[in-house]
Structure 1
Amino acid sequence: MTMPGRRSSIFTRLLRHGFTDPSGAERLLDVPEMATVRSDPLFLDALGATADPDLALRGLVRLIEAANAGERRILLDTLLTAKPLRDRLLGVLGASEALGDHLARHPHDWHVLVTYESADLHPGVAEFERGLADATDPVSLRIAYRRCLLAIAARDVCGTIDVAETAAELADLATATLRAALAIARAAAPEDAAACRLAVIAMGKCGGHELNYISDVDVIFVGGLPEAPAGTLAGDNAAAPLNTDEGKAVQAATRLASHLMRICSETTVEGAIWPVDANLRPEGRNGPLVRTLSSHLAYYQRWAKTWEFQALLKARAVAGDVPLGAEYIDAVSPLVWQAADREHFVPDVQKMRRRVVDNIPAAQLDRELKLGPGGLRDVEFAVQLLQLVHGRSDSTLRSGSTLDALGALAAGGYVGRADAAQLDDAYRFLRSMEHRIQLHRLRRTHLVPEDEGDLRRLGRSLGLRGDPVVELNKAWKRHASVVRRLHEKIFYRPLLDAVAQLAPGETRLSTKAARQRLEALGYADPAAALRHLEALSSGVSRKAAIQRTLLPVLLGWFADSADPDAGLLGFRKVSDALGKTPWYLRLLRDEGAAAENLARVLSAGRLAPDLLLRAPEAVAILGDPGGLVPHGRAHLEQEVIAAVGRAETAEGAVAAARGTRRRELFRTTAADIIGSYGTEDSPAEEDPGALVDRVGNALTDLNAATLAGALRAAVRGRWGDTLPTRFAVIGMGRFGGHEMGYGSDADVLFVHEPREGVGEQEAAQAANAVVAEMRRLLEVPGSEPPLLIDADLRPEGKSGPMVRTLASYAAYYRRWSLVWESQALLRAEPMAGDADLGRRFVELIDPMRYPPEGLGEDAVREIRRLKARMETERMPRGADPTLHTKLGRGGLSDVEWTIQLLQMRHAWAEPGLRTTRTRGALAAARAAGLLSAEDAQTLDDAWVLATRVRNGVMLVRGRPGDTFPSDGRELGAMGRYLGYGAGPTRGQTQEVHSGDMLDDYRRTTRRARAVMERLFYGAE
């Protein structure tokens, strides 16, 4: 009987060592058989280190009680003296109730845990075969199997082997077991064994050398005549009848295979080993259990679905006829690595993964460790998909093991190192969870338990000690989140499908193949293109490996442009500039449509590539889902002003502001190109007007922010934070109308108002000095299109002062203003500087641009006279008036003057017309009934098209222009920008597209001119 004092002391120690039932543990320690070990503190420490100390102690007591006296004495002595055995035995008993039951039935089996030699740490198939050698029937095979499993579990729970080594040992044990089961089946039916050949092909996790403790062992059986070569056993047709001898051989093989499956799968007094599942065979459970090799091949070549080739990726011959098994693997392997050539291969695999998730019962979804989102299957499917796509030409990827394949994908540059490391870590953790869940009762399950005691044991088995349940849930959710994120990133990335669609062998470029492809795609200078390819992809570096994956796809995208050579050259320049930047190629490989976006931008003309080459890091914009959304004026102005504030000189301040402008110009051009051209995943925008408005607003906001930065730099360099006079910049023309193009000047007026206590002369000098400094700073040569300030719309034009006070403007407009100046003021809007001063300037000019009671007839005649004079005097000599976007027939001037005349005549009564935006005023005029819906649409179509042509000219040529380019490639690029020709625009195709484009432009503007003449000139 235990004394109360000692009992209390042991009770406390048991609690400290993690026992949840210390009273029950005390009773077990008090049994006579435990007398020699219960007082040993090291024994209690070893129990406390197990996943479940209570379970370990119960299992040990059962083992000791089951052993005979001699065996018991040896065991107890060994427990006291041999720490490796103590840790192994107690570790297994604390993690697995099922193995504790096995030891209670077979107490002598604890001896397999005694040996601790290095050779014992990593046994292979041969060692396991020796462990099963004495098994002659299903029952003895189960006992021997559990004995081997006991040794694997001990190495696992003690950390002698990691999760990958555990899975490999389990697969090797399964291989040895299949061989032993086949030997038992053959011994039971020697006549069948003599009548056939039978090869057992392991599939799934067993084939991949990554088996669970309890899992179906997936197999395929191949059979045939014993004396005939395997490849000649059947005809070409899988459905053709076998001859008599072949039929008998397959029947004999089927009986052996069926017996093998029963030996492993059926439950006996010793339980079952694991189910043998042959449903991955051709036609599944509806197909014959055993087929000849020829029958297998005929099925795979004609009828197999994509998932069947994915399953064959892990196929491995493990038992039976060795030559036949090897012949099967040799025959099906080429089919596996051709699977990605199948139509819709990548979408099919992705759809299959989604189907698996959809079929999980809702109540189990959050506990499903294998099939659920963020589970093991997410890693496996992503890895297998990458293997099947890239493994066609890279044999290093052809491993059946998930972790080995993941490592090879990372080494080859197909997956980023950081992503691969995170996936590896997460997969190991999730597989460890799965192993320990199954090890407890040796039951096939992938559900995380809900019982707190089970969760506690699971957490402790994984080395989590503080609060095992909390830490387990936290770690599990963290790893599942990583898997889900990276699965979505890798498994669904567009580039993968593009690579899969390449011709077989095209994922790596040989010189000959590259030249042929370049010529076929229409590269004008294949020799130069080849030099670029060799410079980008030669060598054994990781960078070169990634480039070899990207380039075949990029070549096709470049070819889908008017100038593939320019696209490839631009890509080489960007790659050279960012060659040592670790994120660049990773971005193109991993992040959504970044690679396709870059290809479109680089092959669309000169402006966007020039901007990118001057700031290559801006390529990151193309991989950000929100990267192509222009930043608003408030954001840009804040960024620019902050950059100006950090600069030490005025020149440095404006350089910083211009750097922001360069980056945002690239963002806008890229968004315009991609929105116009579209990509595989994002078709071109259907509404050209939306593209025009987005570009106009983005450029206006950007240039307003740039002017604000230049103003701050000019003031700060001489006056500090406060200028002696209030100062505002008023946008005019396309700037004030939010309709700027890539080559537009910034039309402005400058207005100031002396601060209190400052004389007019001092204020005027300060204002003029600020304007001069702003213009100087903005005209310093730079690497982006300059922002030129044009103040010619000011009172008195070039003859008038550059800047005036608000009172001076009021006096001028009251006495001297002409009608054209009132018309110009329709687009006046404050853009930078003193907001209150800008607001008061608008209040000053509103009565002029929106005259009460509208325009008199004299003013209308004057506007018409000015328009007619401009048409005759300002059209460039030799220009085609039907194609000039600004001054030509039905062009920008025709539409804008028509709308502006409506504004000046009716805005006093129609508030909607009081806008600086042409399209906004046009929509308001239509709503007010001032023109018909048809006329409004005609004018809008022409204005949008002419604006897009001007923008397209700048994008294609890198310099502004008001008419279509004459160069054939530039004209072809314009056609692509405007939506003419979705494919390569070369030769005759280019001429057809260009002709359609010019005809459509003339037709659209001719209709607009007819509307303009009727509405503006009053012609019938």
Structure 2
Amino acid sequence: MTSAPGRRSSTFTRLLRHGFTDPSAAEQLLDSEGLAAVRSDPVLLDALGATADPDLALHGLVRLLEAQQGGTARQELLDTLIAAKPLRDRLLGVLGASEALADHLTRHPSDWQALVTYEPRDLHPGVEEFERGLAEATDPVSLRVAYRRCLLSIAARDVCGTIQVDQTAAELADLATATLRAALALAGAEAPEDAAMCRLAVIAMGKCGGHELNYVSDVDVIFVGEAVDGADEDKAVRAAGRLAAHMMRICSETTVEGSIWPVDANLRPEGRNGPLVRTLASHLAYYQRWAKTWEFQALLKARPVAGDLALGEEYVAALEPLVWGAAERENFVADVQKMRRRVVENIPAAEIDRQLKLGPGGLRDVEFAVQLLQLVHGRADGSLRSGTTLDALKALATGGYVGRTDAAQLDDAYRFLRTMEHRIQLYRLRRTHLVPEDEAGLRRLGRSLGLRTDPVATLNREWRRHASVVRRLHEKLFYRPLLDAVAALAPGEARLSAEAARERMVALGYEDPAAALRHLEALASGVTRKAAIQRTLLPVLLGWFAESADPDAGLLNFRKVSDALGKTPWYLRLLRDEGAAAENLARVLSAGRLAPDLLMRAPEAVALLGDGDGGLRPRSRAHLEQEMLAAVRRADNAVQGVTAARGVRRRELFRTSAADIVGSYGTESQPAEADQGALVDLVGGAVSDLTAATLAGTLRAVVREGWGDTLPTRFAIIGMGRFGGHELGYGSDADVLFVHEPRDGVDEREAAEAAGKVVAEMRRLLQIPSADPPLLIDADLRPEGKSGPLVRTLKSYEAYYRRWSLVWERHALLRAEHVAGDEELGRRFTELIDPLRYPADGLDEEAIREIRRLKARMESERLPRGADPKLHAKLGPGGLSDVEWTVQLLQLRHGAGEPGLRTTRTREALAAARAAGLISEEDTAVLDEAWVLASRVRNAVMLVRGRAGDTFPTVPRELSAVGRYLGYGPGHAGDMLDAYRRTARRARGVVEELFYGGA
């Protein structure tokens, strides 16, 4: 009885509670004849509710009951379901997960009884059990039916959680093996003469060979044929070819019961252009002379499965030395990496975000990384020679070739992704690796994985989390394999020969393995405690160095730091006992020149890398200023005071650059910073605060030496440009204005003279030659530019701006902010200029045209000769200047009426403009992305080269290092440049509209 509108029956409510998405339809089904037992039995409803798709399970059960031959058979099924929980769980679990297997049961209604026979002792059938299940098949149609019946039993154990995903995959491979044998037997029975004259071995490849097959997959094979004694070899090989082709047709052809699966022999020598069957000698000759790297990678999983197994074993044994010597081939690693990139590039754009197998962070990433490590290390370590991905991964971790944490994370992610793949394919038994897009499909998939609370959202979150782990570790292991590199070369202690060690260094990406080995020997030889700890650290450090663009520099820098601090008790203990410190150090030492150069001048700053999360957190401006002023007070003179302040600056620049590098590279425990804007803000704020504190310390040192505690005039420093905007990069000059105001009773001339001396002495002290990054004071934005006085009184500024200020000066004052010196004077200066930079009436047409003319002139005059404008981060189209001038024009026009625009910071002003409706959300995102990327490029160039630059390096290794900082793996520098051009091009389009468009 169906519930009346507006009122729900108790059955409806129970169905809703049990997870039915269409309880009304389910209620109608349960009202049908013969389902009273289901409707009234809470056990059956609970069991339906426990399935991946209760609606699908109920519909399948109704179809199965209707297909039973007579009422007695129907009642037997119902009685068994009610009485036998194992059968109930298996059958309903399958019906709720697989529409295709429900179709099979409808066509073969007695096959449900196959699920009754499986007791605990029978839970893991192998090839022999499956062969017995297929034994009665006499033709392709009956073989198909028997295959599906066996598949039904695997799926039942799978969806009930009786077996793990790796066991499911192994059982599917065993069933495939049994099926190939049965198909070959049918082929031989139809052509006994062919079978009598040849030996034919079927070698499983791919997932079948690796004992990790999917529910629906091509079964990759290679055929080996030999003549029996006395037979003609050519005739025997042709006969073997006919048998092989017939076997393939039996499995692949579509019958009234569908097909089993395609048998694919394209992995054979010469692919589809080569003969289907070759002799062992012919195979061997091909692999010795012509095979490509990918063919040896494929042979990792080769396994005899059908036909003449002895011949199959001979084939594997004969090729084994070639497989495990493949890593010695020229460009081996590059070839494997290139093949993986080609796979990704060939994925249709519409599918890449749904690709569970081939896409970034997918199953192939795990498999390729594991296989590369196997091929590199398996030459000398037989424990790695498994065709099964998870077994090989476990062996790699046991042998120390992969970190245990990395291996555990990859194992967990691979199992999750393979389970997703299995459940997706099980639904309709179709060969697909795409995650469903529809809500119902995602819900069924999530519930099949045991995700019952908000299954769609939870599934997407877990899938993306695992894919992210795989992406990170794939890049780490696949592009720069973390090998068990030698760390001890002392006589009697060396784990590898010198030649083997050299090979491993080459595989890791070191360009000068001889020098690298010398560094290793210097660091790790001997019997001292220091050497013992180094031997513990170096294998992992070498892998981390190898993930950078310059492993050799990383190792050399580590040796230098170790030589400087090796006798310091806390140094090696810090690296050994605090994992983050060692990894952070490795990242910093191999990321470029700036951070290592800073560290070499103050090696004790290594301690910052291990001080928990706070060690790399930039200090506040107040904290820095307090420390610098204290250092100045302790100094004997101004030179010593400024030297001390520069020492603090050096340490803090290292702290900031290290935080930037670690945030960009990521670590095992902390993935790379997803919000690139946050890293730009971190660097800009930290360097700006540090510059302000350094100026404050220098000012105090100058005043203290020349005038004691009190200068005859109040003195303030106003930050301009990127300095005032809290956006300084590592190599930026400090744009400033100097302002003073005579104290009461002090002659104006005396005050002006004192202020001038302060400015001159500050500039002199800060320009004393040093190995540190320079801090250049640029006062060219002052009134009258270079021809005007360096310092003015507040009244002089007021008079000038009232009578003479030009549009460009009002524009420049948008970034003005007090940074050092007398705070009250600084506040009064900003109050003075506010009406200029935020004019009450906005800008007139002439002022807007003047700003546009200035911008156009700057673009044409300041871009360096020979520079590619499209790659110039500051002045090029879509670069920093484009974005900043666009935002600043909005501030000049609307700042008076929009308080949010009254800020010196570009991103903050851009967000305020969007909030005020002055720019669309889409255009805001485009400009913000371009500004952040351009800022990151400039910071990257300084980190990598140790000197400022506004465009990408031309030296390949430096370009690669910039790419690594920006998140691009080895070999993807071109992708980085293309991405920059695209981002800048989009930004320039917005600038053309907002800045150069209508008034």
Q: TM-score, normalised by structure 1?
A: 0.58
Is residue 566 of structure 2 the alignment partner of residue 579 of structure 1?
A: no
Match of 1:397 in 2: 384
Counterpart Cα distance in 1 of 2:626 and 2:390: 48
**Distance verdict in 2 for CA 1:714–1:152, change over 3 Å:** farther
Q: Is the 8 A contact 2:172 2:213 kept in 1?
A: yes
Equivalence map 1:396-475=2 (5 Å): 396-475=383-462
Deviations 1:235-267 (A, max 9, x none): xxxxxxxxx822122112212211211111111
Residues 598 and 619 of structure 1 are in contact (CA less than 8 Å); yes or no, is this contact kept in structure 2?
no
1:208 aligns with 2:192: no
Superposed CA RMSD in Å reads 5.8
What is the CA-CA distance between 1:157 and the residue it aligns to? 0.9
CA contact (8 A) 1:281 1:287 kept: yes
Q: Quick check: 2:713–2:751 contact (8 Å CA) kept in 1? A: no
Larger radius of gyration: 1
Q: Does 2:156 correspond to 1:154?
A: yes
Q: 1:586 to 1:125 in 2, by over 3 A?
A: farther
**1:163 corresponds to which letter in structure 2?**
V
- Which residue is 1:546 aligned to? 540
- The letter for the 2-side match of 1:451 is D
Q: In 2 relative to 1, CA 219–586 (structure 1 residues): closer, same or farther, beyond 3 Å?
A: farther
The alignment status of 1:54 with 2:64, answered yes or no, reads no
Q: 1:912 maps to what in 2?
A: none
Superposition pairs of residues 942-953 of structure 1, within 5 angstroms: none
Q: Where does 1:950-965 land on structure 2 (aligned, <5 Å)? A: none
Q: Is 2:132 the counterpart of 1:130?
A: yes
Residues 608-687 of structure 1: pairs in structure 2 closer than 5 A: 609=600, 611-612=602-603, 615=606, 618=609, 640-641=624-625, 660-661=648-649, 663-664=651-652
Contact 1:644 1:713 in 2 (8 A): no
Matched with 1:906 is none
Do residues 383 (structure 1) and 384 (structure 2) align?
no
Secondary structure of 1:360's counterpart equals: coil
Q: Which amino acid aligns with 1:62?
A: R
Name the structure 2 match of 1:938: none
What is the match of residue 889 of structure 2?
none
Task: Find the residue that maps to 1:108 and give its secondary structure.
Answer: helix
Deviations 1:286-312 (A, max 9, x none): 011111222222222222222222222
2:343 corresponds to: 356
Deviations 1:653-698 (A, max 9, x none): 9999888545357689999xxxxxxxxxxxxxxxxxxxxxxxxxx9
The 5 Å alignment of 1:887-898 reads none
Residue 216 of structure 2 aligns to a residue whose secondary structure is coil
1:178 Cα offset (Å): 1.4
- Whether the aligned pair in 1 keeps the contact of 2:545 and 2:555 (CA below 8 Å) is no
Q: d(CA) in 2 for partners of 1:562 and 1:482? A: 30
CA distance in 1, matches of 2:582, 2:766: 44
| Preserved contact between residue 300 and residue 323 of structure 2 (Cα < 8 Å) | yes
Which residue in the other structure is 2:356 paired with? 369
Distance 1:611 1:138, change over 3 A: same
8 Å contact kept, 2:105–2:111: yes
Alignment of 1:321 with 2:318, yes or no, is no
Match of 2:981 in 1: none
1:173 lines up with 2:175 in the alignment: yes
CA distance in 2, matches of 1:18, 1:174: 35
Select which of 268, 288, 299 maps to 2:255: 268
Shift of residue 474 of structure 1? Answer: 3.7
Q: Confirm or deny: 8 A CA contact 1:201 1:319 kept in the other structure.
A: yes
Match of 2:103 among 70, 83, 101: 101
- Which residue identity is paired with 1:171? A
Q: In the TM superposition, what whole-angstrom CA distance separates every residue of 1:193-251 from its partner, at most 9, and x where no partner exists?
A: 222222211111111221110000111111213349xxxxxxxxxxxxxxx82212211
Instruction: Tell me the secondary structure at the aligned position of residue 219 of structure 1.
Output: strand
Residue in structure 2 matched with residue 68 of structure 1 by the alignment: 69
Q: CA deviation at 1:704?
A: 8.1
1:32 to 1:195, Cα distance in 2 relative to 1, 3 A: same
Q: 2:236 aligns with which of 249, 256, 274?
A: 249
| 1:960-975 aligned within 5 A | none
Aligned match of 2:878: none
Q: More deviation in 213-222 or 177-186?
A: 177-186
Instruction: Extract unaligned runs of 5+ from structure 1.
Output: 229-243, 500-506, 672-697, 717-721, 731-750, 761-804, 832-837, 852-926, 934-975, 984-1020
Larger deviation, residues 453-462 vs 567-576: 567-576
Bigger shift: residues 454-463 or 215-224: 454-463
Give the aligned residue type for 2:576.
G
Q: Across the two proteins, how many residue pairs are aligned to each other?
A: 716
CA distance in 2, matches of 1:727, 1:206: 82
Structure 1 residue 274, shift from structure 2 partner: 0.8
* 3-state SS, counterpart of residue 33 of structure 1: coil
**C-alpha spacing 1:146/1:4, structure 2 compared with 1 (3 Å):** same
Secondary structure at 2:202's aligned position in 1?
A: strand
Aligned mates of 1:114, 1:646 — CA distance in 2: 83
SS class of match (2:301)? coil
Spell out the pairing of 1:981-1000 with structure 2 (5 A cutoff).
Answer: none
After superposition, the Cα gap between the structure-2 partners of 1:440 and 1:646, relative to the gap in structure 1 and judged at 3 Å, is farther
Rounded Cα–Cα distance in structure 1 between residues aligned with 2:240 and 2:287: 21
- In the TM superposition, residue 412 of structure 1 has moved relative to its aligned partner by 4.3
Judge conservation of contact 1:578–1:616 (CA < 8 Å) in 2.
no
CA–CA separation in structure 1 for the residues paired with 2:518 and 2:469 = 46
CA gap of 1:14–1:641, structure 2 versus 1, over 3 A, is same
Identity within the alignment, %: 63
Alignment of 1:200-239 (within 5 A): 200-227=202-229
Distance 1:445 1:644, change over 3 A: same
Quick one: structure 1 residues 3 and 641, their matched pair in 2 at CA, closer, same or farther if it must change by over 3 Å?
Answer: closer
Give the AA of the match of 1:61.
Answer: V
Distance 1:170 1:402 in 2: 15
Counterpart position of 1:19: 20
SS in structure 2 of the partner of residue 218 of structure 1: strand
Letter in 2 for 1:372: G
Aligned AA (1:313): L
Retained in 1: the 8 A contact 2:565–2:604? no
Q: Aligned with 1:198: secondary structure?
A: strand
- 1:442 CA displacement: 1.0
Aligned-partner Cα distance in 1 for 2:516–2:59 = 78
Q: Does the CA-based 8 Å contact 1:519-1:526 persist in structure 2?
A: no
Q: Which amino acid aligns with 1:183?
A: A
Deviation at 1:180, TM superposition (A): 1.9
The one-letter code matched in structure 2 to 1:546 is: V
- 1:87 maps to what in 2? 89
Residue 737 of structure 1 corresponds to which residue in structure 2? none
Q: Is the CA contact (8 Å cut-off) linking 1:615 and 1:663 kept in structure 2?
A: no
Hey, what's the Cα distance between the residues in 2 that align with 1:24 and 1:668?
63
Given the alignment of the two structures, is residue 258 of structure 1 paired with residue 242 of structure 2, yes or no?
no
Asked if structure 1 preserves the Cα contact closer than 8 Å seen for 2:304 and 2:313, the reply is: yes
